[in-house]
Chain A
Amino acid sequence: MLLVSRRLQQHLAGKRFLVACLHTSRRVQNSRKVIEQFKLADIGEGITECELIKWNVKPNDMIQAFDPLCEVQSDKASVEITSPFDGVVAKLLVQEGEVAKVGSNLCLIEVMKEIADSVDTSVAEPLNTDTLPIESFETPTSTVSSEENTEEPLPSSTTVRRKHPMDPTFTPEVDGPGHDAPVLATPSVRHFARQNGVDLSQLVPGSGRDGRIDRRDVEQYLSAGASASTQHPTRVEAHGQTENVVVELSRTRYGMWKAMEKSLQIPHFGYSTTLDLTALHGLLPTLNANIPPHFLPESSAPALLPVSPLSVYTPPPPPETPLSGKYTRLTYLPFLLKTLAKSMIEWPLFRASITLNSTSKPTLTIRPHSDINVALSTPTGLYTPTLQSADTYSMYALSSQLKHLSHLGRQIPCGLTPKEMPKQGGTVSLSNVGAIGAGDFAAPVLVPGGGVAIVALGRAKWVWDVDRGDGSGERRLKMGISWTADHRVVEGAELAAFVECWRGYVESPERLIADSV
Chain B
Amino acid sequence: MLSSRLPWSNFFRLYSTAPTSPQHSIYISNSTNPYFNLSFEDWLFRHKEPKTPLLLLYRDDPCVIIGRNQNPWKEVNLSILHSRKDIPFIRRRSGGGTVYHDLGNTNFSIHLPRSSFDRHKTAQVILRAVRSLEVDAIVNERNDICVGSEKVSGSAYKIVNKRAYHHGTMLISTELNTLGDLLHTTKDAMQTRGVASVRSPVRNLQHFNPSVTHESFVDAVVQAFREEYQCEDDVQSVNEEEYQDLEYIQTGMSELPSWEWGYGQTPEFTYPINETFAWGTASAKIQSKHGIIIDFSLSINSEAAPPATDAGISDENLKSVEKLLQGRRYGSVSAVEIRDALGPNGPVDDIASWLEKSMNS
B-binding residues in A (CB < 8 A): 43, 45, 51, 53-54, 66, 71, 73-80, 82, 96-97, 150-151
Contact = CB atoms under 8 A, between A and B. Distances in A.
Contact of A73 (B143, B195, B268): B195
Given A45-B119, A51-B193, A76 B155 contact: yes
Given A96-B267, A97-B268, A77 B69 contact: no
B69 A76 contact: no
B159 A79 contact: yes
Nearest to A78: B95
A51 B192 CA distance: 13
A53 B267 contact: yes
Contacts of B95: 73-78
Nearest to B119: A45
A78 B162 contact: no
Nearest to A71: B68
B220 to A, nearest CB: 23
B62 interface: no
B161 A78 contact: no
B160 A79 contact: yes
Nearest to A43: B159
A43 B115 CA distance: 10
A247 B162 CA distance: 60
Contacts of A75: 95-96, 142, 195
B226 interface: no
Contacts of B118: 45
B157 interface: yes
A97 B156 contact: no
A76 B193 contact: no
Greatest chain A CB density within 10 A among B155, B156, B161, B193 is at B161
Nearest to A66: B161
Contact of B160 (A45, A51, A80): A80
Report, nearest first, the 10 A-B pairs whose CB atoms are least far apart: A76-B96, A78-B95, A77-B157, A80-B160, A79-B159, A97-B193, A78-B68, A73-B95, A73-B69, A76-B156
B94 interface: yes
B97 interface: yes
A73 B155 CA distance: 14
Contacts of A53: 68-69, 267
Given A53-B68, A96-B267, A97-B268, A77 B97 contact: no
Contacts of A73: 68-69, 95, 195
Given A75-B195, A76-B195, A82-B160, 10 more contacts: A45-B118, A75-B142, A76-B155, A77-B94, A77-B96, A77-B156, A78-B96, A78-B156, A79-B160, A151-B162
Contact of A78 (B142, B155, B158, B267): B158
B285 interface: no
A54 B143 CA distance: 26
- B: interface residue count bin: 20 to 34
Contacts of A80: 158-161
Contacts of A43: 159
A142 to B, nearest CB: 18
B328 interface: no
A97 B267 contact: yes
B93 interface: yes
9 contacts: A45-B119, A76-B156, A76-B157, A77-B156, A77-B157, A78-B158, A97-B193, A97-B267, A97-B268
Interface in B239-294: 265, 267-268
A289 to B, nearest CB: 34
B143 to A, nearest CB: 8
A45 B94 CA distance: 16
A96 B268 CA distance: 9
Given A45-B119, A53-B267, A97-B268, A78 B159 contact: yes
A45 B122 CA distance: 13
Greatest chain A CB density within 10 A among B155, B157, B268 is at B157
A53 B155 CA distance: 19
B157 to A, nearest CB: 4
A82 B193 CA distance: 23
B70 to A, nearest CB: 10
Nearest to B269: A97
Interface string B82-124: 0000000000011111000000000000000011001100000
A79 B195 CA distance: 14
A79 B157 CA distance: 8
Contacts of B115: 151
Given A73-B68, A73-B69, A78 B94 contact: yes
Given A43-B159, A51-B69, A53-B69, A76 B97 contact: yes
A97 B158 CA distance: 18
A217 to B, nearest CB: 50
A150 B162 contact: yes
A45 B68 CA distance: 20
Nearest to B156: A76
A96 B118 CA distance: 27
A74 to B, nearest CB: 7
A340 to B, nearest CB: 50
A507 B201 CA distance: 64
A45 B268 CA distance: 27
Nearest to B113: A151
Contacts of A96: 267-268
A160 to B, nearest CB: 29
Contacts of B161: 66, 80, 82, 150
A411 B158 CA distance: 62
Given A51-B69, A53-B68, A77 B267 contact: no
Nearest to B268: A97
Interface string B34-75: 000000000000000000000000000000000111000000
B38 to A, nearest CB: 13
Nearest to B154: A76
A73 B162 CA distance: 17
B193 A78 contact: no
Nearest to A53: B69
A53 B160 CA distance: 14
Contacts of B193: 51, 97
A45 B121 CA distance: 11
B47 to A, nearest CB: 15
A71 B159 CA distance: 10
A80 B69 CA distance: 13
A75 B194 CA distance: 10
Contacts of A76: 67, 94-97, 142-143, 155-157, 195
Greatest chain A CB density within 10 A among B93, B95, B156, B267 is at B95
A81 to B, nearest CB: 8
Contacts of B67: 76, 78
Contacts of B156: 76-78
Nearest to A99: B193
Contacts of B93: 78
Interface string B314-329: 0000000000000000
A75 B119 CA distance: 13
Greatest chain A CB density within 10 A among B94, B156, B160 is at B160
A327 to B, nearest CB: 41
Nearest to B115: A151
Interface string B145-181: 0000000000111111110000000000000000000
A54 to B, nearest CB: 8
A74 B68 CA distance: 11
A435 to B, nearest CB: 40
